């Protein structure tokens, strides 16, 4: 069971779809220590005991900013040790998000800066409103991206484009983010959540073990040479052959009906 959290809201928004809302709109949904702890706990629960959750959608409260990154007011005056201890929580939150077995879709309803953009990049893919802007501003503050930005962004937009974005700290538009591969889709404000939920529901309607194995194969295979990745894919594929869902899928196809997948 997912508990109530101080800084994020969770709700079942559609069958098998969990909606997660970053809920600190008064500070542009900036990450404070508690939000790091809350998100870490949520992802760890979904890794260990996903229950009937088959897809996750993440958005921000308030409608203007998805996430402004780290809460610099909380960080003001921190000692080096306190800063690094907090950042360790943030790091673990991001890496546990990467381990989440079901797809995580970012529904970007406003600007995503610094750690907010890194959060987007750690999700499996993202839709965004056309008015959103994006930046990794860390070098303008005497630090650098430290939650995957220097790794995720080059993989999304290419090394040369990523160097320009990260080393200047300048913002870019939603149209540019879409053209460069950061976003999968641009939406109007009123259609963002319906479109994200439609995609999440389509994923949640597929065989959940198949979706998880395919996600795992892509995530790990991209880090391997091609032949090793192919063998990894086949091993992931073979795990699905004896499942009830595989048999149900073939049976439903031949009976010309919609399959009823149970995740086993």
Report the pLDDT value the prediction gives residue 75, as an integer from 0 to 100. 85
What average pLDDT does range 96-112 have in this prediction? 96
What pLDDT score does 73 carry?
A: 87
- pLDDT for the residue 136: 96
Q: Is the pLDDT of residue 83 over 90?
A: no
pLDDT band at 117 (very low <50, low <70, confident <90, very high): very high
pTM (whole model) above 0.85: yes
Between 61-65, 156-160, 205-209, the lowest mean confidence (pLDDT) is in: 61-65
Give the mean model confidence (pLDDT) for residues 45-58.
95
Parse the chain into domains and list their residue ranges.
8-204, 208-254
Mean pLDDT of 33-51: 95
Terminal CA-CA length for the chain: 20
Architecture of domain 208-254: Orthogonal Bundle (1.10)
CATH of domain 8-204: 3.90.226.10
CA atoms within 13 A on the CB side of 106: 27
Q: What is the per-residue pLDDT across 212-252, written as a single tens digit (0 to 9) for each?
A: 999 999 999 999 999 999 999 999 999 999 999 999 898 99
Looking at residue 78, its pLDDT comes to 85
The residues annotated with a catalytic role in the active site are 118, 138
Q: Cβ neighbours of residue 134 under 8 Å, at least 6 residues apart?
A: 111, 112, 113, 117, 120, 171, 172, 173, 174, 177, 182
Q: How are beta strands 8-14 and 17-22 bridged, if at all?
A: antiparallel
* Portion of the chain with pLDDT greater than 90, in percent: 90
For residue 189, give every residue at least 6 positions away whose Cβ sits within 8 Å of its Cβ, in sequence order, or none: 63, 109, 129, 131
Q: What percent of the chain has pLDDT over 70?
A: 100
**Residues 221/232, Cβ–Cβ less than 8 Å:** yes
């Amino acid at each position: 069971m997912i508990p109530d959290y101080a800084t994020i809201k969770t709700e079942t928004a559609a069958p098998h779809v969990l909606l997660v809302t970053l809920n600190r709109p008064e500070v542009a949904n900036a990450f404070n220590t508690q939000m790091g702890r809350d998100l870490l706990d949520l992802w760890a629960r979904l890794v260990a005991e996903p229950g009937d959750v088959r897809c996750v959608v993440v958005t921000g409260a308030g409608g203007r900013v998805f996430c402004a990154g780290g809460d610099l007011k909380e960080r003001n005056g921190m000692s080096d040790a306190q800063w690094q201890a907090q950042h360790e929580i943030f790091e673990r939150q991001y890496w546990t998000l990467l381990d989440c077995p079901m797809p995580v879709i970012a529904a970007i309803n406003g600007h995503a800066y610094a750690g907010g953009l890194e959060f987007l990049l750690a999700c499996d893919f993202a839709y965004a409103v056309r008015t959103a802007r994006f930046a990794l501003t860390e070098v303008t503050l005497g630090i650098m991206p430290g939650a995957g930005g220097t790794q995720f962004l080059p993989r999304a937009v290419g090394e040369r484009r990523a160097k320009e974005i990260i080393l200047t700290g300048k913002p870019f538009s939603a149209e540019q983010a879409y053209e460069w591969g950061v976003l999968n889709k641009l939406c109007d404000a009123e259609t963002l959540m319906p479109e994200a939920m439609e995609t999440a529901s389509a994923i949640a309607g597929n065989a959940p073990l198949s979706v998880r194995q395919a996600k795992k194969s892509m995530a790990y295979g991209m880090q391997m040479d091609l032949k090793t990745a192919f063998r990894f894919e086949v091993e992931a594929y073979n795990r699905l052959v004896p499942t009830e869902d595989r048999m149900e899928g073939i049976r439903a196809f031949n009976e010309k009906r919609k399959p009823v997948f149970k995740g086993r």
